[in-house]
């Protein structure tokens, strides 16, 4: 078993946020006893959520989290891939589950930080709409046989960070699924790179408005003619040469 591929699949986030099935939960717990790196990834993600909540602890409306999770179960069912004789990781399923889980967690803790009852219903309705959009986006990509996926896991700069790139090998279109990235400082911005033959190729910046509105999780990047891996760095705004990375790498992953 490739434990790093398993970690990058999004099962850690699904388990922690309660979206994994009973079978997946049992399997995950068994693997945690076998693989120290999996337990470390689980602990890091749990800690990041706890720190985010405790830093601005304001009691949310009672029952909000259960309502949110009920909405996820009703509106964002993940369609499984066809089974094969040899059991393999269903990357599409876990990528979709991780995206939905992280979106739910992000919005839930955002509600905690806001603490305004008058906005709770609007946030709830917006969450349901966003979850439906995520499912449609994932279904669209899943149906394209030319798509390859790169699960990009966080580096030491942001261990809980997780993003996914979908690259169309025919049209060369690149789509970025922002599962979980910390909001950058006002003077910084994230930049996406394709790594082709070991050389970085600029694929554009993540607009800072995304972190304010989060109205679209699947972002269209510049086309990539060739790629073996992808990465996201955190760069200073306004630098003259944007064709070469200068900042720290926050997430990185190979094409599968």
| Band (21; pLDDT cuts 50, 70, 90) | confident
Q: What is the pLDDT of residue 77?
A: 41
Neighbouring CB atoms inside 10 A of 121's CB total: 10
22-36, 56-70, 170-184: which has the minimum mean pLDDT?
Answer: 56-70
14-23, 47-56, 74-83: which has the minimum mean pLDDT?
Answer: 74-83
User: What are the pLDDT digits (tens) for 160-180?
Assistant: 898 889 999 999 999 998 888
Q: What is the pLDDT of residue 140?
A: 76
Q: What is the pLDDT of residue 134?
A: 64
Q: What is the pLDDT of residue 131?
A: 63
Range 128-140 average pLDDT: 68
As a whole number of angstroms, the distance between CA 55 and CA 49 comes to 10
- Asked if residue 75 has pLDDT above 50, the reply is no
Tell me which of 201 and 59 has the higher pLDDT. Answer: 201
Phi, then psi, of 133 in degrees rounded to 5: -65, -45
- Asked if residue 88 has pLDDT above 60, the reply is no
* CB contact at 8 A, 137 and 231: no
Tell me which of 239 and 47 has the higher pLDDT. Answer: 239
254: exposed, middle or buried (Cβ count in 10 Å: 0-12, 13-18, 19+): middle
10-24, 66-80, 107-121: which has the minimum mean pLDDT?
Answer: 66-80
The domains found in the chain, sorted by start residue, are 3-142 (no CATH), 147-254 (2.60.40)
User: What are the pLDDT digits (tens) for 95-121?
Assistant: 555 555 555 556 555 555 555 455 555
Q: What is the pLDDT of residue 56?
A: 44
The listed range with the strongest mean pLDDT (53-57, 117-121, 131-135, 245-249) is 245-249
Burial string for 185-224 (b: 16+ CB within 10 Å, else e) reads: eeeebbbbbbbeeeebbbbbbbeeebeeeeeebbbebeeb
User: What are the pLDDT digits (tens) for 185-228?
Assistant: 999 999 999 999 889 999 999 987 777 655 556 788 999 999 99
As a whole number of angstroms, the distance between CA 192 and CA 200 comes to 9
Tell me which of 187 and 1 has the higher pLDDT. Answer: 187
Residue 23 has, within 13 A of its CA and on its CB side, a CA count of 0
As a whole number of angstroms, the distance between CA 204 and CA 191 comes to 6
Range 137-158 average pLDDT: 85
71-85, 122-136, 193-207, 208-222: which has the minimum mean pLDDT?
Answer: 71-85
Range 78-107 average pLDDT: 50
Percent of the chain with pLDDT over 90: 33
């Amino acid at each position: 078993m490739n434990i790093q591929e398993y970690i990058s699949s999004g099962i850690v986030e699904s388990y922690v946020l309660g979206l994994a099935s009973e079978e997946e939960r049992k399997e995950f717990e068994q693997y945690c006893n076998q693989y120290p790196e999996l337990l470390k990834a689980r602990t890091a993600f749990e800690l990041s959520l706890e720190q985010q909540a405790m830093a601005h602890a304001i009691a949310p409306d009672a029952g909000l989290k259960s309502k949110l999770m009920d909405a996820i179960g009703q509106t964002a069912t993940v369609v499984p891939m066809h089974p094969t004789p040899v059991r393999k990781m269903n990357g599409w399923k876990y990528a979709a589950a991780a995206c939905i889980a992280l979106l739910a967690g992000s919005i839930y803790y955002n509600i905690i930080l806001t603490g305004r009852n008058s906005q709770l219903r609007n946030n709830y309705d917006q969450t349901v709409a966003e979850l439906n959009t995520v499912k449609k986006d994932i279904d669209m990509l899943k149906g394209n046989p030319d798509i390859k996926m790169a699960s990009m896991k966080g580096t030491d700069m942001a261990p809980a960070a997780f993003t996914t790139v979908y690259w169309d090998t025919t049209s060369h279109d690149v789509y970025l699924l922002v599962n979980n990235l910390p909001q950058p400082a006002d003077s910084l911005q994230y930049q996406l790179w394709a790594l082709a033959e070991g050389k970085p190729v600029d694929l554009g910046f993540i607009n800072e408005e995304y972190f304010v509105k989060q109205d679209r999780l699947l972002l269209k990047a510049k086309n990539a003619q060739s790629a073996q891996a992808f990465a996201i760095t955190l760069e200073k705004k306004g630098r003259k040469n944007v064709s070469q990375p200068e900042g720290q790498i926050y997430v990185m992953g190979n094409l599968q």
